[in-house]
Amino acid sequence: MSASVDTTTSHRRRLLEAMAESIDEHGYAATTIAGVVARARVSKRTFYEHFADKEDAFLATYSAASDEMLAVIAEATAGDGPWQERIEAGVRAYLTSLAERPRLTTTFLAEIQAAGPRALALRREVMTRFARGLQAIVADVAASDPTARPLPDALAIAAVGGINELLLHALEQGRAEDLTALTDDATAFLRAVLTAP
């Protein structure tokens, strides 16, 4: 890999992290390109080499954060323990990560729904990726545990949507920093889905 590619990748990564930090500190509406580039220590020209505008950077940040969340869940659910424990570990890791950046979480879960058609399309794609991730975990577990059955597409989407709605309800109540308190309820919900006839 050339130094130019390394620098380009580094700049993009720094911009995405700066965007996430700015949203977490100030909210999306108050986040500015000038603030993001200052935080990332790059020029505005570099910003525009990677993103068309603030919305483009926001959506890229949302997508990158979703990738990170999926990786966190996959790592937490890895292993060969009972599937119930692995599901709980995944839920806890996910909620802990969300609670660490409350304003960013609120933006990504709630505000994105009013951010326009591109944001809604990306949200749908991300929800589908989370559903696929849940199916992969269940398939891995089912390979060695007959009590865990494969999860159909529709049920996987419904499960992810149910967890998302539980989170939105907590956010509306101002509980963004206390999302880990939902671990038991979210885990019980997923267990019910996975063991339903």
Tokens 């339903």 belong to which residue? Answer: 196
Q: Is residue 173 scored above 60 in pLDDT?
A: yes
Which residue intervals of the chain bear CATH 1.10.10.60?
1-51
Q: 47-80 pLDDT, tens per residue?
A: 999 999 999 999 999 898 888 888 999 899 887 7
Q: Percent of the chain beyond pLDDT 90?
A: 40
Give the H/E segment covering residue 45: helix 44-50
The span from the CA of 58 to the CA of 142, in Å, is 37
Q: For the chain, what's the residue count?
A: 197
Find the mean pLDDT for residues 132-160: 83
Tokens found for residue 166: 């539980």
Is the distance from CB of 84 to CB of 56 less than 8 angstroms?
no
User: What is the torsion angle, in degrees rounded to the nearest 10, for the CA atoms of residue 80, residue 167, residue 30 and residue 100?
Assistant: -40
Q: What is the pLDDT of residue 4?
A: 52
- Residue 85: other Cβ atoms inside 10 A: 12
Q: What is the pLDDT of residue 2?
A: 52
Residue 22: is it exposed, middle or buried by C-beta count within 10 angstroms (0-12/13-18/19+)? buried
Q: 9-56 pLDDT, tens per residue?
A: 788 999 999 998 898 888 888 889 999 999 999 999 999 999 999 999
The span from the CA of 19 to the CA of 170, in Å, is 24
Looking at domain 1-51, what is its CATH homologous superfamily?
A: Homeodomain-like (1.10.10.60)
Is the distance from CB of 33 to CB of 54 less than 8 angstroms?
yes
Please state the pTM of the whole predicted model: 0.82
Which residue intervals of the chain bear CATH 1.10.357.10?
53-195
Find the mean pLDDT for residues 127-131: 91
Is the distance from CB of 34 to CB of 44 less than 8 angstroms?
yes
Q: 78-108 pLDDT, tens per residue?
A: 877 788 888 899 999 999 998 888 888 888 8
Tokens found for residue 39: 């935080």
Residue type, 92: R
Tokens 């990726």 belong to which residue? Answer: 129
- Return the CATH number of the domain spanning residue range 53-195: 1.10.357.10
Q: CA angle 62-65-71, nearest 5°?
A: 145
Q: Is residue 137 scored above 90 in pLDDT?
A: no
Tokens found for residue 123: 């949200």
Handedness of CA 146, 152, 157, 159 (dihedral sign): negative
Tokens 């483009």 belong to which residue? Answer: 56
